[in-house]
Amino acid sequence: MNFFLSLFNAMPGAVTQGMLWGIMAIGVYITYRILDVADLTVDGSLATGGAVCVMLMRAGWNPWISLLCAFLAGVLAGLCTGLLHTRCGIPAILAGILTQLALYSVNLRIMGGKANQPIGVDKYDLLVSQRYVRELTLNNPIPLVILVLAVLTGLLYWFFGTEYGSSLRATGANQNMARAQGINTKSGITFGLMLANGMVALAGGLLAQYQGAVDVNMGRGAIVIGLAAVIIGEVLLGKVFRNFALKLTAVVIGAVIYYMVIQLVLQLGLNTNDLKLLTALVVALFLAIPYWKTVVLPRKKEV
């Protein structure tokens, strides 16, 4: 009974964390699914967003403006990866790794040379905070996070339906076709990386506030969590959610489910240190299943 009670108590936190990571996972969806580029920049840009947001707020800036600056910092990070990839001929994965590595130093600089910087809920006017996640007051972060998600989903739905947004989808679907139709695929990929990393950095800014601190290592393995969210969402809801806005929602739901499962296994006594191993295994499994299906199923038909 105690077990279920504490699990139940932990759920609002897991859901909120999942939704915040869902914003980040939407960024991963943009690169991984729409542009067909595996972008590892996110491991660095998540912390960049957190660092920019926290440092500006500590300097007395308005939290929304700080969040906007976090978004723009992510956009710059994406620009770096985009230029390395499209203008220097570096494979996308390697370009992302290079930017991510560089960002580690950049993030430390932003954070004044410290590996972490606190942003206390008592001293600062935080948009979202872990402290109020189980309270039924206006301070509860859940409504605000849902609102942010709804606005972002709406904006992306509109954007990817425009002429320019469609050209980005075409670039991800078939670069040959895109170029033959006069689409500048290089600038398209760069723009997509900028947009995606902006989203990731925005998520970083919110996550740092939620946790009450920014840590230079907060983005480690972020890409894998993002992929986990994308894939869990697709596996569970891909058949039902066809509309683009619903697909983005599925990604967020995927992230929420991921954090609920993590909470469950932690309650069951899993060592926190083993968490990343578990995450990697789960993502590897989900990535392998579609491949195994193509290898095994045709053989069954022959029998």
Partner 1 sequence: MLELKNISKTFNAGTVNQKVALNGLNLTMAEGEFVTVIGGNGAGKSTMLNAIAGVFPVDTGKITIDGVDVTNLAEYKRAKYIGRVFQDPMMGTAATMQIEENLALAARRGKPRTLRPGITKADREFYREQLKILDLGLEDRMTTKVGLLSGGQRQALTLLMATLQQPKLLLLDEHTAALDPKTAAKVLDATQRIVDRSHLTTMMITHNMRDAITYGNRLIMMYEGHVVVDVRGEEKKNLTVEQLLNLFSKASGSDEADDKLLLS
Number of other residues whose CB lies within 10 A of the CB of residue 249: 19
- Is 155 a binding residue for partner 1 by CB under 8 A? The answer is no
Query: Which residue from 93, 150, 155, 177 is in contact with partner 1, where contact means CB under 8 A?
Result: 177
Which amino acid type is present at position 170?
A
C-alpha 3/C-alpha 91 separation (Å) is 48
Half-sphere exposure of 51 toward its Cβ, with a 13 Å CA cutoff? 26
Cα angle 109, 148, 272 (rounded to 5 degrees) comes to 60
Residue in 91, 161, 238, 290 binding partner 1, rule: CB under 8 A = 161
Instruction: Choose, by CB under 8 A, the member of 38, 170, 270, 278 that binds partner 1.
Output: 170
Per-residue x/- track, 263-282, partner 1 (CB under 8 A): --------------------
Helix 244-267, helix 222-237: angle, nearest 10: 110
Site membership for partner 1, residue 292 (CB under 8 A) = no
Note whether 116 binds partner 1 by CB under 8 A.
no
The distance of closest approach from Cβ of residue 185 to partner 1 in the complex, given in angstroms and rounded to an integer, is 7
Burial of 164 (0-12, 13-18, 19+ CB in 10 A): exposed
Selected range binding partner 1 among 23-31, 123-131, 179-187, 276-284, rule: CB under 8 A: 179-187
Q: Does 154 engage in binding with partner 1 (CB under 8 A)?
A: no
CA–centroid distance for 32 within its chain:
11
Residue 162 binding partner 1, by CB under 8 A: yes
Minimum CB separation from partner 1 for residue 86, in Å? 12
Q: Which of 61, 139, 157, 169 binds partner 1 (CB under 8 A)?
A: 169
Q: Are 72 and 198 in contact (CB under 8 A)?
A: yes
Q: In the complex, which residues of this chain contact partner 1 (CB under 8 A)?
A: 159, 161-167, 169-170, 173-174, 176-185
